Amino acid sequence: MLTQSTDRPHRQFHAKQVPFSLWRLTDEEYEQLRSQSFPIQFNELSILWLRGDCNSSDALTLPKVLLLLEAEFGLSSRSLDTWKQTFCFPFLMVIAKPIGSFHYLFNIADYRGGLEFRLYRVVDDAKYTDRALEVFHSPLADELTETEIIYVIAYLWGYLEGRAKVLCDHTAEIEPFFRHVDSNHVIYGYWNGNFVEEVIEDPDEYQKKIELLKQQYGKPVVYETEKINDIQRKIQSITE
């Protein structure tokens, strides 16, 4: 199903409709490539069903997503909006099609207690040099359609769901931890032998719960916050 690079966290997914690979980026690499990429707009409502019922024991909740992504791709990025986020994983996504390979930035992060997927096309081709880099653009039909974007995200989600079943069989090895999202009063983590994700509406109760968890498990980890040829060389250095 996948292969792994020995040099940096990397996964190649042999998805039937759209084969793709993910290469983990450092914050510096992501910022450099983001400055030469334009955002792709797609219907995010079409992927809300992925999370399902977070109260189900089989649900792929925030603590599971965080642990799985860290296990697969290393620690979260340090570039975060710490009021609204607790983790962020930036990738170079390579879409492999018979007509060629196409390079995108793909970002998985929590946001206000939900999950957010962001996609950007890297300007490594002269035909995109006139694109505004801060304006959302429609999917590029000859490279990656909106249907294919949803397919790729759902495929990746299915992979994580499979890995989560293995994770749940080895909970004895998980160290208790927690995170909190202050913007929406979300607390999640793993303690007392359970994965927990909850919203505490009352501000006082929310703060009391955080202080109690700090006393029991310590403070949560909080991360602080070209030209085409150059971009092509950067991509080559990441994927070679």
232: in domain: yes
Q: What is the pLDDT of residue 70?
A: 93
Q: Give the N- to C-terminal CA distance of the chain in Å, as an integer.
A: 20
What is the spatial distance between Cα 223 and Cα 161, in angstroms, rounded to a whole number? 26
- The tokens describing 149, both together, are 């974007």
Q: Does residue 79 sit within a domain?
A: yes
User: What is the tally of structural domains in the chain?
Assistant: 1
Residue 196: alpha-carbon gap to chain centroid: 20
Low-confidence ranges of the chain (pLDDT < 70): 1-6, 46, 48-57, 221-228
The predicted structure's pLDDT at residue 188: 96
- Measured distance CA(14)–CA(19) in Å, rounded: 5
Is 192 within a domain? Answer: no
pLDDT for position 55: 62
Which pLDDT score, from 0 to 100, does residue 136 have? Answer: 96
User: What residue has token string 């007509």?
Assistant: 99
Give the three-state DSSP class for 236: helix
pTM across the whole model: 0.86
Strand partners, 177: 190
216 domain-assigned: no
Confidence at residue 26, expressed as pLDDT on a 0 to 100 scale: 93
Q: How many CA atoms lie within 13 A of 40 on its CB side?
A: 26
Closest CA to 108 of 76, 60, 72: 76
Q: Which domain holds residue 91?
A: 10-165+224-239
Q: Kindly state whether residue 178 falls inside one of the protein's structural domains.
A: no
In a domain, 213, yes or no: no
Given CA atoms 41, 4, 109, 49 in this order, what sign does their dihedral have? positive
pLDDT at 3: 39
Please indicate, yes or no, if residue 194 is contained in any of the structural domains.
no
62 vs 19: CA distance, rounded Å? 26
pLDDT at 237: 79
Q: Is residue 142 part of a domain?
A: yes
pLDDT at 49: 64
The pLDDT of residue 121 is 97
